[in-house]
Amino acid sequence: MQLEEKLMSSFVAFESEVDTLAPVHDVREKALKSFEKLGFPTKKNEEWKYTPLNTLLKEDFHIFSKHDNTIEFKEVKQYFIHDIDTFKIVFVDGVYNSFLSETTHEGADICLLSAALTQSKYKKVIADYFNQMAAENDAFTSLNTAFAKEGAYIYIPEKKILEKPIQIIHFSTGNDAALMLQPRNLIVVGKQAEVQIIERHQSLSSQKVFTNSVTEIYADQRAQVDYYKIQNDQEEASLIDNTYIRQEKESHAKVHTFSFGGKLTRNNLNFFHNDERIESTLKGITIIENKQLVDHHTLVHHASPNCESHQDYKGIYADTSTGVFNGKVIVEKEAQKTNAFQQNNNILIDDKATINSKPQLEIFADDVKCSHGCTIGQLDEDALFYLRTRGIPKKEAKALMTYAFANNVLESVQIPSVKSRINKIIATKLGVDLGFDV
């Protein structure tokens, strides 16, 4: 409970230091009250049944970085998707780094939330969208809101099709022994606008880092949002990622989550439908080992007719790693003609690995097609044998089959460099020197 108290007591100091628009102060104070009431969740909380937080929360995290942290581009080049031109919003230990970033105000706002929270020209957007989707009854989200100060602010106006993807990267240097980061992103995509975003959290040392991130995405009519989360962090880095997406009529939002690293990774991915003919896609690949834990909690809330959602999560668990999947699909009474699909396939490589899966359907409308499937199994021995008789060594054969198992998810990746980057990470993860690119 130490961390909880520390957070509570440093709030006043934090509030007096930050200079933001008046309404934001109220939002923050309200959020802190809600956090105080909720407290950190325990294992008794159904949503956190399989993901123990006690070791993480015992840690004495610094809430703010005390150092002036700079890093050279060549040190961190490998963490960028650097073979294509992109906008970049880069933070080092929670502080914006202008040297590594490339932002713009031409045609679209790709800049900082701190700017949006303080400058009066953003007042309306902040009033309309800031903290409008984020859940009020989630402790981590409330905590983030209370300390919301910095993050990415992206505003794509109507009919703007952004020509290059945006990278949002959070680095932590490890100059502080244990650091807690609370980035907050706000992304508003106007009518018929299109955007591609790649997000990454990266620790540069073996120090402990705890990131509690909240991202709010608003997709207006016919907007297209394509979001990639690359999670391949150090062993001591933990991440709780809360993403809230609200979609308007005929919009299409896709989120791909690639979880390959970190000590504890929890993804809360929430989709809310506001109108008809909306499509949502949620896909993920998880490949972890050692004592790692990855927890995917997804929610698709169908509230209007004729919408579709697709979920496809693949997990491969080695050593003593733990995987959790809880996929919730809620179909309201009004949401007739909903098509909702959910798929969760898992492979356990080692005896001590664990998977807890809870695919959940709550349906109140009768004219719907909803299904979910969940499997836990092994690689097919016969197929493995076949590959080996063709002269492919066992390790490579296994890697090929594992890759094929996860490939469904990769097929819908729209940015080729992201795809080849993921391919490379998978190859490294499986310990083979294979280029999966075709």
Partner 1 sequence: MGYTEEELKKELETKEYEYGFYTDIEADTFPVGLSEEIVIAISQRKKEPKWMTQWRLEAYKVWKEMEEPDWANVNYTKPDFQAISYYSAPKSKDKYNSLDEVDPELLDTFKRLGISIDEQKKLAGVAVDIVMDSVSVATTFKDTLAKKGIIFCSISEAIQEHPELVKKYLGTVVPQKDNYYAALNSAVFSDGSFCYIPKGVRCPMELSTYFRINQAGTGQFERTLVIADKESYVSYLEGCTAPSRDENQLHAAVVELIALDDAEIKYSTVQNWFPGDKDGKGGVFNFVTKRGICHDRSKISWTQVETGSAVTWKYPSCILKGDHSIGEFYSIAVTNNLQQADTGTKMIHLGKDTKSTIISKGISAGKSQNSYRGLVQINGRAENARNFSQCDSLLMGNACGAHTFPYIEAKNKTAKIEHEATTSKIGEDQIFYCNQRGIDTEKAIALIVNGFSKEVLNKLPMEFAVEAQKLLEISLEGSVG
Per CB under 8 A, residues contacting partner 1 are 46, 333, 336, 346, 348-378
As measured in angstroms, the least distance from the Cβ of 438 to partner 1 is: 30
Minimum CB separation of residue 337 from partner 1 in Å reads 11
> What is the Cα–Cα distance from 171 to 99, expressed in whole angstroms?
13
Q: How far is CA 83 from CA 79, 193, 420, 434, in A?
A: 11, 25, 11, 20
Q: Toward partner 1, which CB reaches closer, 77 or 369?
A: 369
Q: Are 261 and 231 in contact (CB under 8 A)?
A: yes
Q: How far is the CB of 201 from partner 1 (least distance, A)?
A: 28
CB 216 within 8 A of CB 185: yes
Query: Least distance from C-beta 377 to partner 1, angstroms?
Result: 5
For 340, 423, 424, 436, the CA distances from 420, given in Å and listed in that order, are 29, 5, 6, 8
CB of 38 or CB of 374, closer to partner 1: 374
Least distance in Å: CB of 371 to partner 1? 4
Cβ distance to partner 1 smaller for residue 70 or 375: 375
The residue among 356 and 412 lying less far from partner 1, judged by its C-beta, is 356
**Between 25 and 352, CB nearer to partner 1:** 352
In the complex, least distance from residue 394 CB atom to partner 1, rounded to whole angstroms: 17
Closest to partner 1 by CB, 148 vs 331, is 331
Minimum CB separation from partner 1 for residue 414, in Å?
A: 30
Shortest spacing between CB 231 and partner 1, in angstroms: 23
Structure tokens given for 386: 């076949």
Q: Least distance (Å) from partner 1 to the CB of residue 50?
A: 8
Please, what is the minimum distance in Å from the beta carbon of residue 396 to partner 1? 20
Whether the CB-CB separation of 301 and 265 falls below 8 Å is answered with no
Cβ 267 to partner 1 shortest distance, Å: 19
C-alpha span between 431 and 425 (Å, rounded): 10
Which of residues 174 and 327 has its CB atom nearest to partner 1 in the complex? Answer: 327
Rounded Cα–Cα distance for residues 280 and 297 (Å): 15
Task: Measure the CA–CA gap between 235 and 415, rounded to whole angstroms.
Answer: 28
Q: Which residue, 364 or 385, is less far from partner 1 as judged by CB?
A: 364
